[in-house]
Amino acid sequence: MRVSIAYNDFGGGYRIPGAVILQAITSSGGRAGKPEEIAHYSIVNMDTLTRRPLLAKNLDHSAIRIEKQGSHWRLLYADGILENTSFKEVGEP
C-alpha cells in the first residue's frame, strides 16, 4: 500500500480545480493487474485556498496513521493549526 498527500489537477479530459488530496493505492504485485485506488480524500481545494489563504495553515501539522489489527486496516488523517488535532478515518482498505 502506498499512502500519499499529493496535488491533483488531472480530470481525465475534464477541467477540474486543483486540490490537495490524500490518496492510498494498493497492488498485489506481479501479474495481478493494475494498482487499485482504495482511498481518495480531498483535503483542500485550490479555489478555496485562493479565496481563503489562511486555510493553508491547516496543513502545518498534517499526519497520516495506518493501523493494522489482524487482517483489518484503517487509514486515518489529521490536520490543523494545532499540533494535537484528532485523527479521522478516511478509509478501510
**Among residues 39, 4, 44, 41, which one has the least CA distance to residue 20?**
44
Residues 6 or more apart in contact with residue 27 via CB below 8 angstroms? 34, 35, 36
* 34-38 mean pLDDT: 88
Residue type, 40: H
* 71-84 mean pLDDT: 88
Evaluate if residue 29 carries a pLDDT over 90. no
* pTM above threshold 0.85: no
